[in-house]
Amino acid sequence: MQAAERGATSEARRIAKFMGLADWAKVDDLGLVERVAKGFPVKTATVVIERIDPEGKFVRATDIIPKSTLHRRKHALTKDESEKIWALSKVFFEVLRIYHDDAGRAARFMIQEHPMLGGRTPIDLAKESIAGADLVLKLLAKADAGVAA
């Protein structure tokens, strides 16, 4: 993600693009809220997980959505599932920003236990719940601001 792209595109659009949403260029903040409420396309879960962990070493779509549900769904995820995918995308997108798009460093951060997260890994908290993802985002904001994290 280039600096020029960051400046010219809203965060909602950048994350929608990261998530592989077909109409990402038209997405704004309100549109993204509406998309979450309606449910993202089922393939969004696998696109996001593959972008976060292409080799499937530390996160899988079935960590977020039960395997039987994921295979049974035809069109859209539920609102709750979409919120989890959105939260996980936001966390990883922010980690990538902080690590200047170095996916290897970002992945290492996500799988390393952190004392400010009770010894848990950011990926485990982020995939567990929206509250967990928010906690990781707060940690990232402290780190980005230069506060000991």
The pLDDT assigned to 98 comes to 92
The pLDDT assigned to 3 comes to 42
Q: Please give the chain's pLDDT, 149 residues, in tens.
A: 444 344 456 888 999 999 999 889 999 989 899 999 999 998 899 899 888 888 888 888 888 888 888 788 778 899 999 999 999 999 999 999 999 988 888 888 999 999 999 999 999 999 889 999 999 999 999 988 886 55
Domain boundaries, the chain: 3-145
The pLDDT assigned to 4 comes to 39
**Rounded to the nearest 5°, which phi and psi values hold at 59?**
-155, 145
DSSP run (H or E) holding 37: helix 29-38
The pLDDT assigned to 50 comes to 87
Residue 34 CB partners (closer than 8 Å, separation 6+): none
71 DSSP assignment: H
CA dist 54 and 46 (Å) reads: 10
Strand partners, 66: none
The pLDDT assigned to 149 comes to 53
Residue showing tokens 């659009």: 13
The pLDDT assigned to 1 comes to 45
The DSSP result for 15-32, as a single string, is HHHHTT-TTGGG--HHHH
- pTM listed for this prediction: 0.82
The full length of the chain comes to: 149
| Token pair belonging to 121 | 């890994």
